[in-house]
Amino acid sequence: MRIKKFDAETLQGALAKVKKDFGPEAVILHTKKYKKGGIFGLFGSERTEVTAGIDINIEKPRAPQFMPAAQQPVSSYGRTHQESRQYNPQPMQRQAAPSLQQTSQVNMDMIANYRRVEDISLKNESFARELNEGKISLGGNIRGMKEPSAAGVNLKDGIGRIQKLLLDNGVEENLVFRTLQTINSQLSDAQINNKQNIDNYLLDYLSGMIKVSGPFKTAAGTPKIISFIGPTGVGKTTTLAKLAAKYALVENKKVVLVSADTYRIAAEAQLKKYGEIMGIPVEIVLTPADFKKVINKHMDKDIIFFDTAGRSPRNKKQLMELKEFMEVYSPMETHLVVSAVTKYYDALSIINNFGMVPIHRILFTKLDETKNYGMLLNLSVGSGGIPVSYLTVGQTVPDDIEVADSGVMARLILKGDFEAWIKQRNLES
C-alpha cells in the first residue's frame, strides 16, 4: 500500500486533496486535529491531517472522474508513534478507464467511507473541545471550569516526562496532547511531580476514555445471537470456543455454535472438535438462507454464537457477502475481533471497511503477543467510542479470556505489566 498524509485547515480540504491525488480507490486510514505552532504543540492554530492509502496493485493513471455533486462509526498496561512511510509504486500498464456507472458506484462507496470517518473525527473533536474547556472530569462528570487562556501559559514542570511516557507506550499524538492540556490546566506542579499522584491520575483519566460493555446478557424466551467478524488470523474461532465453553459449562446456558467459515482449511473440523469436547451442537452454513434455517431450528437456545470467515478489509465482494449473513436476523450483536498487535492505522482501516456491517463491540485478542498496548486506547477512542467487550490473553480454551475492564486496560497501556496482571489474575481465580 502507498500511504501519504494530507494536511489542510479543514477536514473537507484535506479530503479534497486525497481525492485529487489518489482518486476514488483511496482508503482513509486516520484523521486527526492538531495544533500548529504555539507552545509545545499546544494553543496553536487548528489543522486537520488525513492519512490515506491506496493499494499499489490498483493504483493507475486515472481517467477524468465523474464525481457526484454531493460529498459516517482498575489496573494499567506502546511504541513511539511512527510517521507513515510513502511507498512509490512501480510503473504499471495503463488500463481501460472505468465506465460512468462503475466510477459513480466507487465514488459513492468512497463518500460513505469519508462520512463515516468524518463522523468519528467530529466526535473526537467534540471530546477534545470538552477536555480543553475542562468540562469533563476524570469520571466523565460535567464541571463548571473555565477554558484556560493561551496567553502567558507556562507548561508545568514534569509535562515533558508524561509526554514521553505516553508516546513510548504507543498512545497516539492527538490523545497525548489532549491529556497534556488537561493535566497542565488542572494539576499543580507538586501534583504532577508526585509519582503516586500522577500515576493514579493517569490511570483514572485513561480509564475514563475507554468504554466497555460488560459480559453478554441473555433474556429468557429468545436466543441472543452473537456474531464475530474480522480479518483472517485474529483468532475468531478460538475466541468463540472460549466464550461458548464459559457460558455452556459455567453459566449453564443452552448454546449452539454456527460457522460460515468454509474458506479456511480444517475450520469446520476445528469447531466440531470444540463442540464435541464441550457437548455443544455445531451447525455449518453455506448461505444466508441456511443461517436463517439454523436460527429457526434453535430458537429454544439461550445463545447462538456465529463464527464468520476471515475477510480482507479491502475485498468489497467478501464484505458484501458478510453483510448478507448479518441481515438474516435482527437484533444480532456483532463483535469486531481485532488483534492487539495490529498497527493502529491498519485497525482504523479495518473498522472503516467493515463498517458496512453494524459494529456493536470491539473484542481485542492476542494481548499475550505484544508488550505495547497503546492501541487499545487509540482504537477505543478512534472508533468513535465503540465499547470493548472481551480481551483474550492466550490460546487455552476456555480460560484465556477476560471481560474487558477499563482500569485493567489503562494499567496495561501505562505500565505494560502484562505478566504481573496475569499472575494476580491466576491467584484470584
- Owning domain of residue 353: 224-428
Is residue 211 domain-resident?
Answer: no
In terms of pLDDT, which residue wins out, 362 or 11? 362
Is residue 160 domain-resident?
Answer: no
Rounded to two decimals, what is the model's pTM?
Answer: 0.66
**Are residues 233 and 127 part of one domain?**
no
d(CA 164, CA 167): 5
The string of pLDDT tens digits covering residues 96-153 is 434 444 434 434 544 444 444 445 445 444 544 444 444 433 233 323 323 333 334 4
Is residue 410 domain-resident?
Answer: yes
> Average of pLDDT values for 233-248?
91
Confidence at 217, pLDDT banded by 50, 70, 90: confident
Percent of the chain at pLDDT exceeding 90: 37
Is residue 234 domain-resident?
Answer: yes
**Are residues 233 and 122 part of one domain?**
no
Count of H-run helices and E-run strands, the chain:
14, 11
pLDDT at residue 207, as a whole number:
96
Whether the pLDDT of residue 251 is over 80: the answer is yes
Task: Provide the CATH number for the domain around residue 365.
Answer: 3.40.50.300
Cis amide bond preceding 215, omega within 30:
no
Contacts of 51 (CB under 8 A, 6+ apart): 3, 4, 5, 6, 28, 29, 30, 31, 84, 345
**Are residues 120 and 263 part of one domain?**
no
- Cα–Cα distances (Å) from 224 to 256, 295, 333, in that order, read 11, 10, 8
Please report how many Cα atoms fall inside a 13 Å half-sphere around the Cα of residue 19, on the Cβ side: 21
- Average pLDDT over the chain, rounded to an integer: 76
Whether the pLDDT of residue 72 is over 60: the answer is no
pLDDT at residue 116, as a whole number:
47
Angle at 403 between CA 231 and CA 80, to 5 degrees: 60
Whether the pLDDT of residue 376 is over 80: the answer is yes
Whether the pLDDT of residue 342 is over 50: the answer is yes
**Are residues 128 and 228 part of one domain?**
no
The string of pLDDT tens digits covering residues 271-306 is 788 888 888 999 999 899 999 999 999 999 999 999
**Are residues 249 and 374 part of one domain?**
yes
Specify the number of domains making up the chain: 2
Is residue 312 domain-resident?
Answer: yes
**Are residues 247 and 115 part of one domain?**
no
Angle at 314 between CA 313 and CA 317, to 5 degrees: 100
Is residue 395 domain-resident?
Answer: yes
Q: Find, among 187, 185, 166, the residue nearest to 175 by Cα.
A: 166
Which grid coordinates belong to 9?
A: 485547515
Q: Which of 79, 113, 132 is the last residue of a domain?
A: 132
pLDDT at residue 154, as a whole number:
64
Sign of the alpha-carbon dihedral angle for 242, 244, 246, 250:
negative
**Are residues 386 and 241 part of one domain?**
yes
**Are residues 249 and 124 part of one domain?**
no
Is residue 307 domain-resident?
Answer: yes
**Are residues 117 and 233 part of one domain?**
no
Q: Which of 132, 147, 177 is the last residue of a domain?
A: 132
d(CA 319, CA 327): 12
Is residue 214 domain-resident?
Answer: no
| DSSP conformation class of 325 | H
pLDDT at residue 226, as a whole number:
96
> Average of pLDDT values for 211-231?
92
Q: Which of 132, 157, 191 is the last residue of a domain?
A: 132
Q: Find, among 281, 303, 332, the residue nearest to 222 by Cα.
A: 303
Contact 52, 18 (CB under 8 A): yes
How many residues in total does the chain contain?
A: 429
